[in-house]
């Protein structure tokens, strides 16, 4: 269960540079607006030191990290929802993502063209959000029309029409769909897909002298997460060893790399947890929805395991390490037998018993 994080924002704000930084790629990131046309995507391993420890402990032949996919999307400008700039292909690209990383330019550099002439994080941010809302408005209006015209007998048709009209009114007041109180009727509409229903966080592309992110958050009255990245600086330090990078970042008061901070935010917004499978052949980290029980987690590994599920033999990561693996955990009475309804905990090491 990997998730897809889309980098969305104005042209020339550093989306492709951040994409390169996160994914270790070298796609073009040049000083001209709309440098990116088709989206670029790449999978990145989710770093997890617990997995490294499991590999060492079991001498595993293979290590498989959980993965996250980043998609670098073309820049949007005011009017994009009606076809300005590169048109509204962006709708489809953003629609395919699970979480939106809204990249906002805070860095000042007169040499780097800004499509509006000058850097104004707040107004850039609002312009892009408005385009997303307008795109949703148009989607909802089309949807409403198709319901009105539909000859198919629909249960609760009148209520549905009223609910859609309320949603249109809400979007018209320039507020994200995620803030709308969905009725059961509307929540059931799996084919009404809206961009502003997706979880969003801000990536602030800052520089040494321009970290006005606190002011930005207060002025915006935002309850969104914000990850500040100095893309130019972090790109430079990728040449250093991992240890040197950590030291450099900690001197700046940052405990984690940009990638780690983004992954933490994504996991939080999407409500994800990690569990492990580990043995001499392979140690692997899996991501699952926080709400997933043992049988649902087993299905992430393979549908056969889910189908033939017998039980989950489970131990917490801390105990697994403390008692030196499976045998030690069994000897010390911390190796548990759990049924299909067991709510898997963050960091559990699991051995699924199944029968096919």
Torsion-angle region of 171 (φ positive above 0: left; ψ -120 to 50: alpha; else: beta): alpha
**Residue 60 interacts with Mg ion (CB under 5 A): yes or no:** no
**Residue 107 interacts with ligand GTP (CB under 6 A): yes or no:** yes
Closest of 72, 67, 16 to residue 43, by C-alpha: 67
Among 1, 57, 67, 112, binds ligand GTP (CB under 6 A): 112
Q: How far apart are CA 6 and CA 4, in angstroms?
A: 6
As measured in angstroms, the least distance from the Cβ of 355 to ligand GTP is: 51
Stretches 27-35, 42-50, 157-165, 239-247: which one binds ligand GTP (CB under 6 A)?
27-35
Report what 17 binds from ligand GTP, Mg ion, none; CB cut-off 5-8 Å by kind.
ligand GTP
Stretches 34-42, 150-158, 269-277, 289-297: which one binds ligand GTP (CB under 6 A)?
34-42
Report what 23 binds from Mg ion, ligand GTP, none; CB cut-off 5-8 Å by kind.
none
Cβ nearer to ligand GTP, comparing 21 with 295: 21
Beta bridge partners of 227: 203
**Residue 30 interacts with ligand GTP (CB under 6 A): yes or no:** yes
**Residue 231 interacts with ligand GTP (CB under 6 A): yes or no:** yes
CA of 304: how far to CAs of 55, 235, 307, 344, 353, in Å?
25, 43, 5, 19, 11
Angle between helices 157-172 and 121-149 (to 10 degrees): 160
Structure tokens at 314: 């489970």
Stretches 7-15, 38-46, 56-64, 277-285: which one binds Mg ion (CB under 5 A)?
7-15
Contact 4, 94 (CB under 8 A): no
Q: How far apart are CA 55 and CA 62, in angstroms?
A: 8
- 300: exposed, middle or buried (C-beta count within 10 Å: 0-12, 13-18, 19+)? middle
Closest of 276, 263, 262 to residue 316, by C-alpha: 276
**Residue 38 interacts with ligand GTP (CB under 6 A): yes or no:** no
**Residue 36 interacts with Mg ion (CB under 5 A): yes or no:** yes
Q: How far apart are CA 255 and CA 346, in angstroms?
A: 21
Among 5, 21, 36, 180, binds ligand GTP (CB under 6 A): 36
Binders of ligand GTP: how many residues, by CB under 6 A?
23
Contact 204, 228 (CB under 8 A): yes
Among 24, 31, 62, 345, binds ligand GTP (CB under 6 A): 31
Report what 232 binds from ligand GTP, Mg ion, none; CB cut-off 5-8 Å by kind.
ligand GTP
Report what 107 binds from ligand GTP, Mg ion, none; CB cut-off 5-8 Å by kind.
ligand GTP
Among 13, 14, 16, 114, binds Mg ion (CB under 5 A): 16
Instruction: Return the number of other C-beta atoms located less than 10 Å from residue 92's C-beta.
Output: 9
* Helix, strand, coil percent values for the chain (each to nearest 5): 40, 20, 35
**Residue 40 interacts with ligand GTP (CB under 6 A): yes or no:** no
Beta bridge partners of 338: 312
> How does DSSP classify residue 197?
G
Site for ligand GTP in 66-85 (CB under 6 A): 74-75
Cβ nearer to ligand GTP, comparing 40 with 319: 40
Among 6, 14, 39, 121, binds ligand GTP (CB under 6 A): 14
As measured in angstroms, the least distance from the Cβ of 77 to ligand GTP is: 9
Closest of 215, 157, 219 to residue 189, by C-alpha: 157
**Residue 41 interacts with Mg ion (CB under 5 A): yes or no:** no
Contact 228, 128 (CB under 8 A): no
Among 8, 21, 33, 127, binds ligand GTP (CB under 6 A): 33
Contact footprint for ligand GTP (CB under 6 A): 11-17, 29-31, 33-36, 74-75, 107, 109, 112, 205, 207, 231-232
Contact footprint for Mg ion (CB under 5 A): 15-16, 35-36
């Amino acid at each position: 269960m990997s998730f897809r994080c889309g980098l969305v924002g104005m042209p020339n704000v550093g989306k492709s540079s951040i994409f390169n930084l996160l994914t270790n790629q070298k796609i073009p990131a040049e000083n001209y607006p709309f440098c990116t046309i088709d989206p670029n995507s790449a999978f990145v391993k989710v770093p997890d030191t617990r997995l490294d420890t499991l590999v060492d402990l079991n001498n595993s032949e293979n290590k498989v990290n959980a993965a996250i996919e980043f998609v670098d999307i073309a820049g949007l400008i005011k009017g994009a929802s009606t076809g300005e700039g590169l048109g509204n292909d962006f709708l489809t690209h953003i629609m395919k993502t699970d979480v939106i990383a809204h990249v906002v330019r805070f860095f000042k550099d007169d040499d780097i063209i800004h499509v509006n002439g000058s850097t104004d994080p707040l107004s850039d941010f609002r312009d892009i959000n408005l385009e997303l809302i307008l795109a949703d408005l148009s989607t909802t209006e089309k949807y409403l029309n198709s319901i009105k015209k539909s000859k198919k007998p629909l249960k609760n048709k009148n209520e549905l029409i009223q609910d859609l009209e309320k949603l249109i009114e809400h979007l018209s007041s320039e507020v994200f769909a995620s803030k709308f109180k969905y009725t059961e009727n509307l929540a059931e509409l799996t084919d009404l897909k809206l961009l502003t229903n997706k979880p969003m966080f801000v990536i602030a592309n800052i520089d040494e002298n321009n970290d006005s992110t606190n002011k930005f958050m207060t002025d915006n009255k935002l309850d969104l997460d914000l990850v500040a990245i100095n893309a130019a600086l972090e790109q430079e330090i990728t040449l250093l060893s991992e240890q040197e990078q950590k030291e450099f970042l900690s001197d700046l008061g940052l405990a984690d790399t940009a990638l780690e901070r983004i992954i933490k935010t994504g996991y939080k917004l999407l409500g994800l947890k990690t569990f492990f499978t580990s043995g001499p052949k392979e140690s692997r980290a899996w991501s699952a929805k926080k709400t997933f029980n043992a049988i649902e987690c087993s299905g992430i590994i393979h549908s056969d395991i889910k189908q033939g599920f017998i039980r989950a033999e489970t131990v917490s990561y801390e105990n697994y390490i403390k008692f030196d693996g499976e045998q030690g955990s069994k000897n010390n009475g911390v190796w548990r037998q759990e049924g299909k309804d067991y709510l898997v905990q963050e960091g559990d090491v699991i051995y699924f018993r199944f029968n096919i």
